[in-house]
Structure 1
Amino acid sequence: METNNTLLFITGGVRSGKSGFAEQLAKKISISTATKLHYLATAQSTDTEMKNRILRHKLDRQHSDVDWTTWECPINIQNLSYQFSKNDTVLLDCLTTLLTNEMFSSERNWNDPIVQDDIIMKIHNALNGLKKNVHTLLVVSNEVLNEPGYNNELITIYQRMIGILHQKIVLEASQAYLIESGIPVRMKGESL
């Protein structure tokens, strides 16, 4: 089996269909490469809406025609990289939730530029570690950079941090997709 350490990036607005597209793409890759499918979920059940969204995603995978192994890891995803091998296709959903979780997971001050840089580097390094260990890593994120910051320091900092992460990931990705109203638009790379 080819071990090419492929990185794919999928972004779009909230409820744009990006997770469904990413799951279908992961399934296609898994079947064509004979790799095992893994879902790395970063969401935490913080309210009724999020609880229902998590349940819907779980049910979608349970009713899939392929087997998924789900890993729930809202922070410190680097701790999972040793769990995977070149025989695995991993879908991380989603980067924006992971960033939020990491920003508020400790007593460190999120508005300190050094802390911000540390968080960006931690997430980027964790993704690189995952990518090195797996056949294919798909990263799903939300497109939040077009929204105004509403003169809110937290939102402005968050948008800057996710923008930096998006740029780093897309630079290294072999493919990047933007999902608009359920329609994938390939922004980088050739079709698989």
Structure 2
Amino acid sequence: MEEGRMIFISGGVRSGKSSFAERMATELHLQLPNTKLHYIACGVASDKEMTERIARHQKDRQASNANWETWESPYDVYKIASSFGKTDILVLDCVTTLLNNYLFLREMEDAEQVIQQIWKDVSNLRNTGAAIILVSNEVVHEIPSSSELVQRYQYILGKLHQQIVGEADSAYLVEAGLPVCMKGEKR
């Protein structure tokens, strides 16, 4: 099966990475005829802040005048891969939330098993032939924590980022709303 283009976008909290990903997807959509835009939302409204964040992202997509189809998928994203075709453009927001959901909703403890599961999700989406834009947070720049849970989280996320960037066609780091191309062609 033909693999689609994969773009990785990371940055800190509130860095503008999701907005950049949505703009990039919309630009690709305008350049390529007969494409559909899909937003794969991994967030779960577990508290007031997350509920507000989800509402803000939904409002931003509605205001973009692009025709987004949203898929709520907190984990096991591979199960919806068959819903997409090779002319689709997918935005998965976000890898860190997906990781959180496997660790805390699914209560997966084995780091390698979590990495394999998320890679299964990403690979199945990419194998549809669609263009996929993966959004993630940069949290591994922090001082190493004494907490075993935080150390495991940083280990998993660092390994995932390396694996994704290794396979990605391009990778961006967004800071203060400014995207910096780290790999591939600058958009």
Which bin holds the TM-score, normalised by the shorter protein? over 0.9
Partners of 1:76 and 1:68 in 2: CA distance: 21
Describe the superposition over 1:106-149 as per-residue Cα deviations: whole angstroms up to 9, x where unpaired: 354x2xxxx21111011112101100104200000000011124
Partners of 1:153 and 1:122 in 2: CA distance: 21
Supply the AA of the counterpart residue of 2:64. Answer: S
Partners of 1:68 and 1:134 in 2: CA distance: 18
Partners of 1:135 and 1:29 in 2: CA distance: 11
Aligned residue number for residue 174 of structure 1: 169
* Contact 2:115/2:156 (<8 A) preserved: yes
* Contact 1:89/1:134 (<8 A) preserved: no
Describe the superposition over 1:164-186 as per-residue Cα deviations: whole angstroms up to 9, x where unpaired: 00000000101000001110000
2:38 partner SS: strand
1:104 partner SS: helix
Following TM superposition, by how much is the alpha carbon of 1:191 offset from its aligned partner in structure 2, in angstroms? 2.9
After the TM superposition, list the runs of 4 or more consecutive aligned residues in structure 1 that deviate by more than 3 angstroms. Answer: none
Greater alpha carbon shift after TM alignment, 176-185 vs 140-149: 140-149
Aligned residue number for residue 42 of structure 1: 42
State how 1:40-119 maps to structure 2 within 5 Å: 40-108=40-108, 110=109, 115-119=110-114
1:133 partner SS: coil
Supply the AA of the counterpart residue of 1:169. Answer: I
Partners of 1:140 and 1:167 in 2: CA distance: 14
Aligned residue number for residue 11 of structure 2: 12
Aligned residue number for residue 155 of structure 2: 160
Supply the AA of the counterpart residue of 1:13. Answer: G
Partners of 2:107 and 2:185 in 1: CA distance: 43
Give the alignment partner of residue 183 of structure 1, picking from 174, 178, 182.
178
For structure 1, the 5+ residue unaligned runs are none
State the number of aligned residues.
185
TM-score w.r.t. the length of structure 1 is: 0.92
Partners of 1:134 and 1:63 in 2: CA distance: 28
Partners of 1:191 and 1:129 in 2: CA distance: 26
Following TM superposition, by how much is the alpha carbon of 1:62 offset from its aligned partner in structure 2, in angstroms? 1.0
Partners of 2:162 and 2:138 in 1: CA distance: 12
Aligned residue number for residue 27 of structure 1: 26
Q: CA RMSD in A?
A: 1.3
Describe the superposition over 1:40-79 as per-residue Cα deviations: whole angstroms up to 9, x where unpaired: 0000001111101100100111111210000010011011
Q: Please say if 1:130 is aligned against 2:125.
A: yes
For structure 2, the 5+ residue unaligned runs are none
